[in-house]
Amino acid sequence: MHFLDPHIHIASRTTDDLQALARAGCLVVGEPAFWMGYDRSGTNSFYDYFRQLTEWEPKRTANYGIQHYAWMGINAKEAENVAFAKEVIALLPEFLDRPNVLGIGEVGLHKNTKNEVLTLLELIDLAVKRNEQILFHTPHLADKYQGTRMILDLLRADSRIDRSRVCIDHCEEHTIRMALDEGYWAGITLYPTTKATPERAADMVEMYGPERILVNSSADWGPSDPLAVPQFMAAVRRRGHPESLVRQVVYDNPLTFFNQSVHFNFRRPD
Partner 1 sequence: MPNPIALDVFNREFLTMRCRLIDLAAAIDRVGRADGQVADDPRWQQLQQAIGVIASPDGNRAERVQMTFSLPYGENWRHDYEV
Minimum CB separation from partner 1 for residue 25, in Å? Answer: 24
**Cβ closer to partner 1: 91 or 118?**
118
Minimum CB separation from partner 1 for residue 240, in Å? Answer: 7
Minimum CB separation from partner 1 for residue 221, in Å? Answer: 24
**Cβ closer to partner 1: 43 or 146?**
146
Angle between helices 198-208 and 228-238 (to 10 degrees): 60
Minimum CB separation from partner 1 for residue 137, in Å? Answer: 17
Contacts of 185 (CB under 8 A, 6+ apart): 164, 166, 167, 168, 179, 212, 213, 214, 253, 257
The torsion defined by the Cα of 115, 40, 107 and 88, in degrees rounded to 10, comes to 80
**Cβ closer to partner 1: 133 or 231?**
231
Interface residue list for partner 1 (CB under 8 A): 112, 114, 117-118, 121, 141-146, 149-150, 153, 157, 172-174, 200, 203, 206, 209, 238-241, 245
**Cβ closer to partner 1: 33 or 245?**
245
**Cβ closer to partner 1: 23 or 238?**
238
Residue 162 near residue 144 (C-beta atoms within 8 A): no
Cα(196)–Cα(56) distance, rounded to whole angstroms? 30
Minimum CB separation from partner 1 for residue 229, in Å? Answer: 20
**Cβ closer to partner 1: 33 or 117?**
117
Provide the 3-class DSSP secondary structure of residue 173. Answer: coil
At 46, the amino acid letter reads: F
Minimum CB separation from partner 1 for residue 199, in Å? Answer: 8
**Cβ closer to partner 1: 29 or 151?**
151
| Region for 170 from its dihedrals, namely left if φ exceeds 0, alpha if ψ lies in -120 to 50, beta otherwise | left
Provide the 3-class DSSP secondary structure of residue 269. Answer: coil
Task: Tell me the DSSP string of 70-106.
Answer: EEE---GGG-SSHHHHHHHHHHHHHHHTSTTEEEEEE
The tally of CA atoms less than 13 A away on the side-chain side of residue 4 is: 27
Distances (CA, A) of 162 to 128, 167, 234: 9, 11, 33
Minimum CB separation from partner 1 for residue 117, in Å? Answer: 5
Contacts of 262 (CB under 8 A, 6+ apart): none
**Cβ closer to partner 1: 130 or 238?**
238
Minimum CB separation from partner 1 for residue 119, in Å? Answer: 11
